[in-house]
Amino acid sequence: MFSYDSLKKILFKFDPETAHNIAEYGLRVLGKCKIAKAYMQKKNYITDPKLTQKVFGVTFANPVGLAAGFDKNATMIKAMQSLGFGFTEIGTMTPKPQDGNAKPRMFRYPEFKSVQNAMGFNNKGAHKVLKNLKKVYPFDIPIGANIGKNKTTPEEFALSDYKSLIKKFEETSDYLVINISSPNTPNLRDLQNEKFITELFTMARELTEKPILLKIAPDMEVQMAINLCYSAINAGAAGIIATNTTIDYSLVPNCQSFGGLSGACLTQKSGDLFKELGKELFGKTVLISVGGISTGAEAYERIKNGATLVQSYSALIFEGPSMVRKINEEILELMAKDGYSNISEAIGANLK
């Protein structure tokens, strides 16, 4: 068969954004081709009862999900099980369509298995994305909707952007994620303060009973991150996703001086912050870990540090469509080694 390594050599001849668009086209076609989709799903989608759990009242057949940023416009959902994912997160969507930042705005560093993006929430806008979602929701795997404010929306009106997005997507998603941690929208990270978070989640809880999570950046000081998370939880957040991309450019030599880094370069930084958050927040809210996860061992360590679910994106570019299956198979092996009969026993094991 045509291996992913062979395909990767072709894709890597294109600039990263073009390669992404090619991949999107391929996955959209795959989603419509029943035979190919069924073949890939049988090969990659792990549904072992040992990995199954209910979160937010919804069944997750396995704990590995696709992080936001890959499927910005909800066009690839039908292919997600074929890649092995137990859930998927679309977006980030904004109320109005926006083109994002100037190109080039995506860079890959194969020697570091890392990616840098300065996309800037490029998407077709909430109305169009909602139309795409309505074609598939409810779906066979849970769908999260990651939402953010438009670039042109002043900070003092940011709440209105999030309000309109929550109202739009609450009925066509299993959970919502507030994104104020992307480094690619000017001043967005300034909203990572306790006052705004409290106002935002207080408003959100008045609008919907759907679970709403906060996604945080990896570049905050630990105590500040903990305080921010507590503000969100006390105001009604159903969980925390840690972390977004980093602006610590020392992690990849000679990288760009803008945008966010993700992939293997983020593994240590994201894992370290998540570990500290787990010590403080495990048992108090749902924790989802993302950032540099490409192996079952890394995913399992995050799970033992308190993660109910994990997510990946950048690693998929380097590892290919068999990655999620391998992660889940390795998690099962590690669970067996530790004597666990269900993943729920492994969650937070390092903290018990």
* The total number of structural domains that make up the chain: 1
- % of the chain surpassing 70 pLDDT: 99
Going by pLDDT thresholds of 50, 70 and 90, the confidence category of residue 2 is low
> Domain holding 161: CATH number?
3.20.20.70
Q: What is the pTM of this model?
A: 0.97
Residues ≥6 apart with Cβ < 8 Å to 29? none
Single out the catalytic residue among 182, 231, 294, 312.
182
pLDDT digits (tens, 9 = 90+) for 228-270: 999 999 999 999 999 999 999 999 999 999 999 999 999 999 9
Strands 87-93 and 143-147: parallel
| pLDDT category of residue 166 using cuts at 50, 70 and 90 | very high
Residue 1: pLDDT over 70: no
Q: Mean pLDDT, to the nearest integer, of 127-143?
A: 98
What's 104's DSSP letter? P
CB 291 within 8 A of CB 138: no
Q: Can 182 be counted among the known catalytic residues?
A: yes
pLDDT(316) > 90: yes
247 vs 274: CA distance, rounded Å? 17
pLDDT at site 136:
98
> What is the pLDDT of the chain when averaged over all its residues?
97
Sequence-distant (6+) residues with CB within 8 A of 319 are: 4, 294, 326
Average pLDDT over residues 292-300: 98
Confidence of residue 111 (pLDDT cuts 50, 70, 90): very high
Rounded to an integer, the average pLDDT of 301-314 is: 98
Q: Which of 282, 286, 143 is nearest to 213 (CA)?
A: 286
Question: In this structure, which amino acid lies at residue 171?
Answer: E
CB 33 within 8 Å of CB 279: no
The answer on pLDDT for 77 being more than 80 is yes
* Structural domain range at position 211: 4-351
Choose the weakest-confidence range: 89-98, 129-138, 187-196, 316-325.
187-196
- Tally Cβ neighbours within 10 Å of residue 199: 15
Nearest residue to 93 via CA among 15, 161, 12, 139: 161
Nearest Cα residue to 245 out of 274, 266, 229: 266
* Number of neighbouring beta carbons within 10 Å of residue 211: 20
pLDDT at position 240 is 98
